[in-house]
Structure 1
Amino acid sequence: MQSHVGTARSIVRHILVYFLQRPRNVDLFIFWRALFTMWLSLIPSIITPDYTWPAPAVTTVQRVTPPVPAVPGANSRWLWGKAHGLLYHFSRCYCYLFGLYFDPHIIQLPFGLVLKWTDRTSVEEVIAMQMARAAGIPVPRVLSCGEHVTPHLTREVSILMTRLPGFSLVNSDDPLEVADEGPWLEELKTCVHAMREWEPPSQDIICSPIGTALRSSRVPDHIMGPFKDHKSFYQHLFAPASQHGFISVDDYNNTFATAKQLQQRPYKVKFTHGDLKAHNILINEDGHLAGFLDWESGGWYPEFWEYTTAMRFGRDSWWYQVTMWMGGYEYREELESDRALNLLTVDSYIAF
């Protein structure tokens, strides 16, 4: 510690001597910036926004359903909500201090922590994250869950979690060369396939990990269910179907018939991430899977949902090929039906 103090004093002394020898109209901004840079060099790394906690190595992922964690109590959520509100305001100063853009939804904090606070964050997401992490999937560790009971505030739940290392993948029009990809590709496939072997509470019910509503960006109000059976699920999906946007009645009828094929055969219920997109995957410098993020849509869905939701857009894009390689090829017919369903219902949720 003494050496750090001595070094700091020496740097300050040299900076002062340099600027005192310059003309009086010297730019003070440069002076203070130099002092600030010196100060940053003395800050422990754990305080900086770049600090991350190690990601769990993807060695073996549990193929047996992990226990469903207990839902945090109402009093606990209320107390943590107050604490998270203070962290929100603290982050404004923290981001300003480090020259970061303040994101009110993904809130940066010291000690390798992040506070997620969006209108889609929920207790169900907390449970899905905890189940996935318990199974060995590289998911941030949940530290606390806060609830915010404010009439004018749509962001009702916040999650304090660890920050994972790595960078997000970006979709492109490049062809997928499996041999050229890093080990992350096989590791991600292992995670997805392991989840799909978990035993659901029932092969009939479609719901969140705790039996409540599901959140999805592809339905009105971005929330649906829970559903006691598959019939109720499909009725909800098809309810907002509209002829709007179709050039003719025949075109609408043909599209509707294609979408209806989803109901032609029974499907098993599988545990599903629900938003399997490139930007939700973190890769480290060695090419290994470092993070599997955003579990707000996680829950029990029909087996095709994971793949068709990920492949509805960007046909033949790089990520489309990744998803197809991981198992989406088994659901090509369902994909065409799901795309038809999207054409029928997109007007019901695109504005939200």
Structure 2
Amino acid sequence: MLNAGSLSCWMKFRIWLGERLYGESSSRQVYYVVPRKVLKVRCHRTELEAMEYAGQHTTIPIPTVYKAYGKGDYRDLLLERAPGQDLEMSWRSLTAAQKADIVRELAGYVSQLRQLHPPREGVVGSVSLGSGYDHRLGSRRFGPFSIAEFHKYVRRDVDLESWKARDETVAQVHSRSDSYATKFTHADLSPSNIMIKNGKISAIIDWEFAGWFPEYWEYTKIYYGFRDWRKDFYSEIEHFFTVYSEELDAEQAIWAVTGPFDYEPVATVVTALQQRRDIDAKAKG
């Protein structure tokens, strides 16, 4: 059901007509309104800020924002419809050389993001250093944090000593929080968010998680929700990206005992304490 109260009756009619003429998109947030434009509803303002920032400071192909409807934290965005087909759908039809070329191109764009300078070093948050968001950490916004505070949040306040019984790597990575730089990060570079046309990247979409994160976050997030049939995609990532093997091991250890629901608000302090005890017990194995 459309949840876009800031839209005019005319735009709602265009959405209704677009669904009949062009079909429905695979996302409940996105609606086709004309052949080359889409409406993405309920976008936090930080997604728009991230798109504008990356568009101004890199050569990454990002869909043009034609108009933002609404005020406050959430907007409905009228966007250019990214040309081509997403990499998820086209990957199997590509040759080995084409796959390597595309991931090499992707790595070049990520390198541009990583060369940008944060407003304040060591702070994890949105592009403007406001609160951040990443579905890896549930549905609520978080921070801004120092990297040490972010790591504590990631492990749900469970003491590092509890992790040592299960996996030393978590303690090793999180205990050196001060050694990591913060880098501008898309944070959702799955093949479904990479559009391809004529063997080149035509757009990178879905910037809702983008912000300043520890330098390894872009790499480890690519592996979140691992898909076995993406193995050759991951193999190319290993060739062209900066690899953070230890940090990935630490993240995978945390993924094994937590899920997005563990980061949701809880009803009482007692419930929060019990949740922490449960994760602590899992961490100890």
Q: TM-score, normalised to structure 2's length?
A: 0.77
Alpha-carbon shift at residue 209 of structure 1 (Å): 0.6
- Counterpart of 2:218 in structure 1 is 306
| Residue 311 to residue 85, structure 1, CA distance change in 2 (3 Å) | farther
RMSD: 3.2
| CA drift at 1:253 | 5.1
Distance 2:9 2:111 in 1: 38
Can you give the 5+ residue segments of structure 2 that lack an aligned partner in the other structure?
266-285
Specify the SS of the correspondent of 2:69: strand
Structure 2 partner of 1:324 = 238
Shift of residue 240, structure 1, vs aligned partner: 6.3
1:333 to 2:246 alignment: yes
Unmatched 5+ stretches in structure 1:
1-79, 150-154, 243-249
| 1:304–1:331 contact (8 Å) kept in structure 2 | yes
Which amino acid in the other structure matches residue 200 of structure 2? H
User: Once the 2 structures are TM-superposed, how far is the Cα of residue 84 of structure 1 from its aligned partner?
Assistant: 5.7
Q: Which has the larger radius of gyration?
A: 1
Q: How many residues align?
A: 253
> 2:14 maps to what in 1?
90
Which residues of 2 match residues 1-352 of structure 1 at below 5 A? 82-83=6-7, 86-96=10-20, 98=21, 100-101=23-24, 104-110=28-34, 112-118=36-42, 121-134=43-56, 135-147=58-70, 156-170=74-88, 179-181=97-99, 183-227=101-145, 229-239=146-156, 254-255=165-166, 257-265=168-176, 266-284=179-197, 286-312=198-224, 313-314=226-227, 317-328=231-242, 330-346=243-259, 348-349=261-262
TM superposition shift of 1:94 = 2.7
- Corresponding position of 1:49: none
* 1:6-43 residue CA offsets vs partner (Å, 9 max, x unmatched): xxxxxxxxxxxxxxxxxxxxxxxxxxxxxxxxxxxxxx
For 1:223 and 1:85, the matched residues in 2 are separated by 31
TM-score, scaled to structure 1: 0.64
What CA deviation, in whole Å up to 9, does each residue of 1:238-292 have, x standing for no partner?
11669xxxxxxx9x753353322222331111000010100000110x2011010
Q: How far did residue 322 of structure 1 move?
A: 2.9
Give CA-to-partner distance per residue, 1:186-229, whole Å, 9 cap, x none. Answer: 221110011101111122211101111111011132421111x2
Question: Are the structure 2 counterparts of residues 348 and 138 from structure 1 closer, same or farther at C-alpha, using a change threshold of 3 Å?
Answer: same
